[in-house]
Amino acid sequence: MYQPVPAPAPDPDERPPSVTRGAIAIGITCLGLLVSTFAAVLSFTYTPPETDSATDSGAGPFLTGYIGWGFLSVVLLMLGAVMTLRRVNGGRILIWIVGGMSVFTLLGCAGAGVLVEALGTNEDDRATTYPPSWMFYLAIAGSVIGLVAVIMAIVFYGRRESGRWFKPPPQQFSYTAPQPPPPYRPY
């Protein structure tokens, strides 16, 4: 009769695969954020070839904030990924916070790109006023890829095996309870 061989107990110091997969997903998220930020910069600073003037300057503050948040979130997410690979639980918390805010950023970018493409003007007007469609498609693709990857990373870091790995090992003290002093006997 077949007797299954029990699997060896996992080494408590060995990094679980979910932590490594979460760090990879964060890298893909950062790539998606950079692509969507790059596409947003291209589409907001686009000037049709027939005109000499720049695009509407009202987009300047929005564009500055979007670029700032895009690069700040990339830096913070990569910092969190490096911290988690070094077994620092603060990196996991950083990824949950910045990743959660990035979900809304990426949803907004993807939604705005789809909305502009769906409600775009006619083809004659588009050729002179709108940026080319590939810029919107690039932003949508970067946002969707980043959105899926950041949700995967949050799930990977929330798994039980990841949480167990981040907990410090129990400390074993060779501690003995204090003994009362011997009774005082002057004679």
Average pLDDT, the chain: 80
The domain spans of the chain are: 17-46+61-122+132-166
Q: Please compute the mean of the pLDDT values over residues 96-105 and round it to a whole number.
A: 90
Q: How far apart are the first and last CA of the chain?
A: 78
Q: Please compute the mean of the pLDDT values over residues 173-179 and round it to a whole number.
A: 72
Q: Tell me, what DSSP letter sits at residue 6?
A: P
Q: Which of 61-75, 78-92, 173-187 has the lowest mean pLDDT?
A: 173-187
* pTM of this structure: 0.74
Confidence at residue 3, expressed as pLDDT on a 0 to 100 scale: 76
Kindly state the tokens that stand for 145: 């890829």
What's the pLDDT band for 46 if we cut at 50, 70, 90? Answer: low
Per residue in 111-121, pLDDT tens? 877 777 777 65
- Strand, coil or helix: what is 56? coil
**Which residues have a Cβ under 8 Å from the Cβ of 121 and sit 6 or more positions away?**
129, 130
Rounded to an integer, what is the distance from CA 65 to the centroid of its chain? 18
Q: With contact defined as beta carbons under 8 Å apart, do 145 and 109 qualify?
A: no
What's the pLDDT band for 69 if we cut at 50, 70, 90? Answer: confident
Give the CA distances from residue 104 to residues 19, 100, 111, 135, 144, in Å, rounded to whole numbers and listed in that order: 23, 7, 10, 20, 12
